[in-house]
Amino acid sequence: MLLPFFSSVVFPVFSLFFPEYTPSSSPSARSELHFELRHSHAVTSAAHVYFSNVGRSNPLRAERQPAFTLRSKDIKTYKPLSAAAYVDARKRSIYRAESEVLHWDEEEVPGPDVESRESLLMLARMTSNAYNEPDSKEWYDLEGNYILNDPIGWKPDADGFRGYVFATPDNSTVILSIKGTSAWVSGGGPTTTKDKINDNLLFSCCCARVDWTWTTVCDCHRGGWKCDQECVEQSLVDDSLFYPIGTNLYNNLTYMYPNANIWLTGHSLGGALASLLGVTFGAPVVAFESPGEKMAAQRLHLPSPPSLQHITHVYHTADPIPMGTCTGVLSSCAIGGFALESSCHLGKVIRYDTVSNLSWSVNFRTHSIVRVIEDILSVPWAPAMLEGREVPEARPQDDCVECYRWEYGNFTK
Ligand SMILES: *[C@@H]1O[C@H](CO)[C@@H](O)[C@H](O)[C@H]1NC(C)=O
Ligand SMILES: *[C@@H]1O[C@H](CO)[C@@H](O)[C@H](O)[C@H]1NC(C)=O
Ligand SMILES: *[C@@H]1O[C@H](CO)[C@@H](O)[C@H](O)[C@H]1NC(C)=O
């Protein structure tokens, strides 16, 4: 069922409280945007996306300015001229190994200002909240006193993606936050199993074949370091619900907010999903501590726009997951059952060198979004400030190599 809680009483309440707020008509090069929490989203069984309205436990507090403030900056994105042409190009690539020239529409849209530390910090908090309910002590209170009206998909036994939808009072800009894999955050929880299969399909070199003791997530290993390319692609396209759920989520959101600019943010697996959706729909993305998703984009045959400047990754060097170094039989990832071997990211990377600059040692515990918020983004970053910036410069990962031991090809079983 589509949007089952869409018509609850929350929207009239909101419009009562923000009648006088008039946004700047067309955002100039840089401007400030205020966001309020609107919905939670979650995926239930059968890959259905549910949106549920978020209310306020104390409506009087809503009279204040909405508390999520972000700087925006115009950026260039590319959107496929038609969604049908995109799907068609992808299908031809998957099923007939034909690539066709897809036409892209270049557009200038307001995106998050990724050179602003405060804006990255705010997005990181929105992302962190995707793990939590508003009444939990981990929730970053952004002054709203929010409550979940109908926490479907948020029960402890719920599985899969979830997060929140934030919007400006005039609905011109909407942010979708997506949570990552729970296991790294608080030692597990029931969403772990499905997340793990998805992670291993998407971010391992060959079906999570770490050594002979591993149960692989697909059957493409052909002995030694040989891996059947067509097979890994097929298993990702066929077996991973990850990308199709994401596209449903995005489509449902554009249905609710037909005229909005949509921004995507997420942590870890949620960040990787945000990025793949950003490639597909030309939406600005800020992904935190995401494992390399470039290989997954190729294996999923996502048509690639002329530029991916609208996708920004933020991670730090002591986190082995985005660095692609949490590998090998004895690594903490492998012990936890994760084979996260990819290291190449799409778009640009803002890399905090916590190993050199803060003397952190490499440890998967630094992967947590809370560490990123509290220990990296909440304070000025001295190495960047020496260069006159607030955050390290965003750069593409040129000449990135991953899975170099593996040979991919057409091997018989
Ligand atoms: C919303 O998502 C559902 C799957 O959960 C999909 O069947 C439906 O077509 C989507 N609706 C829109 C308007 O895209
Ligand atoms: C914004 O979107 C919501 C639906 O989520 C709608 O109820 C509300 O009227 C819209 N507000 C404006 C100013 O368009
Ligand atoms: C931070 O680390 C980089 C190496 O990544 C080094 O070049 C730079 O000098 C360091 N800056 C500070 C202030 O420690």
What is the per-residue pLDDT across 241-260, written as a single tens digit (0 to 9) for each? 678 888 888 999 999 999 99
Tens of pLDDT, residue by residue over 102-147, are: 888 898 999 999 999 999 999 998 888 777 766 666 666 655 556 6
Q: Where are the alpha helices (DSSP H) in 18-139?
A: 83-96, 117-129
* Ligand with minimal distance to 392 CA: 3
* Residue 149 burial by Cβ neighbours in a 10 Å radius (0-12, 13-18, 19+): middle
Q: Can you name the residues that pair with 174 across neighbouring β-strands?
A: 167, 262
Q: Looking up tokens 């493409």, which residue turns up?
A: 220
351 Cα: distance to centroid of ligand 3 (angstroms): 12
From atom 8 of ligand 2, which residue's Cα is the shortest distance away? 11
313 Cα: distance to centroid of ligand 2 (angstroms): 30
357 Cα: distance to centroid of ligand 3 (angstroms): 5
> For residues 367-385, b (16+ Cβ closer than 10 Å) or e, as one string?
bbbbbbbebbbeeebeebe
41-55, 135-149, 170-184, 259-273, range with the lowest pLDDT: 135-149
* 123 in a structural domain: yes
pLDDT at 56: 62
Is 268 marked active-site? yes
* Res. 188: pLDDT tops 70: no
Q: What are phi and psi of 300, to 5 degrees?
A: -85, 0
Q: What is the DSSP letter of 225?
A: T
- The tally of domains found in the chain comes to 1
Mean pLDDT of 51-56: 73
User: Best of 49, 247, 257 to mutate for ligand 1, by most ligand atoms within 8 A of CB?
Assistant: 49
pLDDT at 181: 60
If you average pLDDT over each of 75-84, 132-141, 392-401, which comes out highest? 392-401
Mean pLDDT of 359-381: 91
pLDDT band for position 195 (cuts 50, 70, 90): low
Mean pLDDT of 267-294: 93
pLDDT at 347: 96
409 Cα: distance to centroid of ligand 2 (angstroms): 51
**The two structure tokens encoding residue 212:** 């002979």
Name the nearest CA neighbour of 396 among 298, 274, 292.
292
Mean pLDDT of 179-199: 55
* 80 in a structural domain: yes
pLDDT band for position 395 (cuts 50, 70, 90): very high
Q: Give the CA distances from residue 151 to residues 157, 179, 248, in Å, rounded to whole numbers and listed in that order.
A: 12, 15, 19
How many Å apart are CA 265 and CA 407, to the nearest integer? 34
pLDDT at 31: 87
Whether the CB-CB separation of 292 and 345 falls below 8 Å is answered with yes
Percent of residues in the chain assigned helix, strand, coil, to nearest 5: 30, 20, 45
Q: What is the DSSP letter of 283?
A: -
Q: Find out whether the beta carbon of 251 lies less than 6 Å from any atom of ligand 2.
A: no
48-62, 85-99, 317-331, range with the lowest pLDDT: 48-62
How many Å apart are CA 298 and CA 349, to the nearest integer? 19
Name the nearest CA neighbour of 178 among 316, 302, 42.
42
Q: Give the CA distances from residue 205 to residues 200, 201, 299, in Å, rounded to whole numbers and listed in that order.
A: 9, 9, 11
Query: Please, which residues have CB within 8 angstroms of residue 159's CB and are 6 or more apart in sequence?
Result: 43, 45, 190, 191, 193, 194
* 270 in a structural domain: yes
**Residue predicted with more confidence, 238 or 153:** 238
Range of the domain at 103: 3-57+67-409
Whether the CB-CB separation of 86 and 280 falls below 8 Å is answered with yes
pLDDT at 364: 82
Average pLDDT for the chain: 79
**The two structure tokens encoding residue 55:** 């209310």
The active-site residue out of 40, 116, 177, 268 is: 268
118-122, 199-203, 230-234, 316-320, range with the lowest pLDDT: 199-203
How many Å apart are CA 5 and CA 25, to the nearest integer? 30
Please give the share of the chain, as a percent, with pLDDT higher than 70.
72
Q: Find out whether the beta carbon of 255 lies less than 6 Å from any atom of ligand 1.
A: yes
